[in-house]
A and B are shown apart, each in its own frame.
Chain A
Amino acid sequence: MKLRLAAPNALIDINGLTELSYIREENGVIAIGALTRHDQLSRDRIIQEKFPLLAEAANVIADQQVRNRGTIGGSLAHADPTADLPTACMTLNANIITRSENESRSIASNDFFRDFFATALKQDEIIQEVRIPIPPPRSGGAYTKLAKGHSDFALVAVAAQISLGSGDLCNAISVVLGGVGSTPTRATETEKLLVGQVIEDRLIRQASLKAAKGLTPNPDFRATSELKLKMVTTLTERTLRTAVSRARGGN
């Protein structure tokens, strides 16, 4: 509203629904209430331990005042492709639970983001909860963001989550890019190259080179398209290395 992106006739403030602010573990899933503030998310022990990439993403959103007020539900519903939580939630294969007067739906984050500031939410729906499956042991993730200045939106952001089996075999991999298209964008070529393979340095490098393939990010006054593509490669490699090292049990 402040940016004149929306001019609604009427507003309902749902901040009073304090029961929608929670982080809890239930049946192999971490459930996050839609009104959970970014500040809570970034400082929560469960989130830091299970999904470091989500804590990292929440911690680099704007500034302290915004993190005190902004919510995960609000960020996902707003669907800015350069925002941090849409990219992070898609990487973690989150399910978004919506609620209308008569219906509750569960929407995979892969299907949730439709276009710039456009989602699968219907007019009469709100986000109630975000559900993230707890990854198996030997999993790790990381979030890396390039922005102009500390508190800006991402020029480019990369999130990666990996699960390793015995002998560093890659059992599952998820890599999602922010700021390179109209929605968070899955780096499918990178994922394909890594899944089922034994993770080693050269492979990470090769897979990172694939991340920018086929992308045509819009240039803006902060960065050219070319710079963004180069940064996708660099940040993907960096993010994958951190994710792998965390999955192996380091930091």
Chain B
Amino acid sequence: MLLVDFLRDKLELTGTHIGCDTGHCGACTVMLNDVTVKSCLLLAAQANNSKILTIEGVSAEGELHPLQEAFLEHQGLQCGYCTPGMILSSLFLLKRNSAPSEDEIKKAIDGNLCRCTGYLGIVKAVKAAASRMQGSLNQ
């Protein structure tokens, strides 16, 4: 059983999506021990004893994460199918690089396809979230 099927069907955490099931689209991106992976390319058994973060865990206590807020404000989503993966990949980027350039953002979401081609909004949202998160760190 694939990790993504385990998350969705056994744990009923359906926020993680299955887009292509071939490792191309990144809709199933989750964090495994703090790094992003495609959960359709891992067997569930391989994640035994690991820490997994899905989109359900990104917002704390019902409060949207600054990244989620920024996606909302800057229209970083159209149909929303790719959004959970986009958020996880962006989160991974911002953990490493708190002030990424536009090119760095584009490279970071290379593995996430948006079939609505809404990339402009996504890149804008990640940029906005980065400056907001930096602002809150500086306070």
Contact = CB atoms under 8 A, between A and B. Distances in A.
Nearest to B40: A2
A2 B89 contact: no
B29 A65 contact: yes
B110 A151 contact: yes
A224 B134 CA distance: 48
Given A13-B45, A13-B46, A65 B108 contact: no
B45 A68 contact: no
Interface stretch (B9-17, B30-38, B76-84, B124-132): B30-38
A69 B111 contact: no
Contacts of A150: 107, 110
A15 B46 contact: yes
Interface in A105-164: 150-151
Contact of A65 (B22, B45, B46, B89): B89
A65 B37 contact: yes
A68 B37 CA distance: 7
Interface string B40-52: 1111011000000
Interface string B88-131: 01001100000000000001101110000000000000000000
Interface of A: 2-3, 11, 13, 15, 39, 62-66, 68-69, 150-151
29 contacts: A2-B23, A2-B41, A3-B22, A13-B45, A13-B46, A15-B46, A62-B111, A63-B110, A63-B111, A63-B112, A64-B36, A64-B93, A64-B108, A64-B110, A64-B111, A65-B26, A65-B29, A65-B36, A66-B23, A68-B35, A68-B36, A68-B37, A69-B35, A69-B37, A69-B38, A150-B107, A150-B110, A151-B110, A151-B111
